[in-house]
Amino acid sequence: MLSGTPDPLERWIGDGLAASAALEEEQGIDHFDRLPDSILLVIFNHIKDVKALGRCCVVSHRFHSLVPLVDNVSVRIDCVVSDDLSTSPSSSGSSAAAEKTRSVFSHFARAFLGGIVRPIYALGQILSSSPSKRLSYVESSFSEVSHYSPSQVLKSFKEIRRLRIQLPAGELVVNDGVLLKWKANFGSTINSCVILGASSVISLSSPSLSTQFGSPNPAPDLCSGEDNNSIPESFYVNGGLKLRVVWTISSLIAASARHYLLQSIVSDHETLEFLDLTDADGQGVLSMNRHQLQELTVNPVCASGSSQRTLMPALSMRLWYEPLLEIPCGMMLKGATLVAIQPSEERSREMMSGGSCTSDVAPDLSWVSNAFEEPYNIAASMLMERRSYCLEMNSF
């Protein structure tokens, strides 16, 4: 029979626990002191955020000694501001102009890419520990600006195995409604890059839109219509070709700039096993695994001329295109384009094993379909069911 009156034994235990807790509080007993260091490190590794870990450091001497042993760290750069606040506008303007003039990327962007690409030479100032190039990130929860680069902040950590750095925004400026995402893997140079783009993303929640566009994903017929060995005519209209060239080259330059500027961080942390350099827009991700990080440590980066980016080798590209691609989440991608990029040497080895564009043997392209999260991995998989086209690009 249930009763609202507590059992005498339960009441006695409860009173004892309350009295014990009151006594411990009176004596200033800290229950964290009862936890072994290994448990505290598990907690700190779940925290990850370098700012929160920095606050933990000032809690106690014990925390201060344990935080540098954390092996899973995340650095978020909230905002970029100039260190040299005393510099006059004229001198800072001339200095920036000189830097832009020296930057191969900025010259290329002005000459060909127009307003699509944001100059990325400032990435060097964000990630570099050099005082002359350092920029700062704003800690929004503090009243002051903290003038430290990620390289400087991470020097306090001695056992980092997994590191994630998030930039405040993607480097590439695209118009509203345009989809552009890329993921690149690097060792001492590029291993692979996947780019997914669409000139516009249309929501199919409205029935009228579905009626207007009809069936956007007809079964691919490789034996009819346009020339099987050439890209469809619709790819070229309304500046479509130029736009996709811009997407491809600018994404590769952004990835190579990120890679070049990670050298100091990688060299400072020999324990690294995984590194992600992403951005708050979710535009691009540069990833490096343990093998690739070791390769970068052994083989220094080869810079592209005087620019602050890694030299791109000759590249082979496999391109898929669909004028209208409807994906199951209720979105339609207009001018959907998928580009898979590898160094030409790697591509040559693949072709020798029967993975050419015209071969009946399907190459292993799982790295392409797995490059993005849902729903974009679904879009990539659907595009890969279409005909692919092989392209080449010289080193730059």
Is the backbone of residue 283 left (phi > 0), alpha (psi -120 to 50) or beta? alpha
Q: Ranked by mean pLDDT, which of 78-82, 86-90, 124-128, 229-233 comes out on top? A: 229-233
d(CA 60, CA 31): 13
d(CA 383, CA 381): 5
| C-alpha to C-alpha distances, 276 to 80, 268, 297, 368, nearest whole angstrom | 19, 16, 16, 17
pLDDT band at 307 (very low <50, low <70, confident <90, very high): confident
Q: For position 294, what pLDDT does the model report? A: 93
Q: For position 388, what pLDDT does the model report? A: 87
Identity of the amino acid at 365: L
**CB-based burial, 99-135: b 16+ in 10 Å, e otherwise:** beeebbbbebbeeebeebbbbbbbbbbbbbbeeebbb
pLDDT tens-digit series, residues 349-369: 665 555 555 555 556 788 998
pLDDT tens-digit series, residues 219-231: 443 333 344 556 6
Identify which has the larger pLDDT, 289 or 89.
289
pLDDT tens-digit series, residues 111-150: 334 433 443 444 554 455 443 443 333 333 333 334 467 7
Taking a C-beta distance cutoff of 8 angstroms, is the pair 217, 276 a contact?
no
Percent residues over pLDDT 90 in the chain: 35
d(CA 390, CA 341): 10
